[in-house]
Amino acid sequence: TKQLYKLWNRLSSGSYFPPPVKEVEIPKKDGKVRQLGIPTIADRVAQEVEVEVVEE
């Protein structure tokens, strides 16, 4: 709950900056790798909030 309040505070004040994503390599069948960027939970919540605001 405390983390959500901090996130809401940053979003509403315009001072939210997403943290770096976690980089993960996923092997492909052809031997190459695919780079994925995994956002933090807080960033995923922030993205969902933005979607809700835009869709209203």
Q: Which domain holds residue 18?
A: 2-55
| Cβ proximity of 42 and 19 under 8 Å | yes
**Taking the complete model, does pTM exceed 0.75, yes or no?**
no
CA–CA dist 15, 31 (Å, integer): 42
Note the pLDDT tens digit of each residue in 1-56: 798 899 989 989 999 998 999 999 999 999 999 999 999 999 999 999 889 889 98
3-state secondary structure the chain: CHHHHHHHHHHHHCCCCCCCCEEEEEECCCCCEEEEEECCHHHHHHHHHHHHHHHC
Domains held by the chain: number: 1
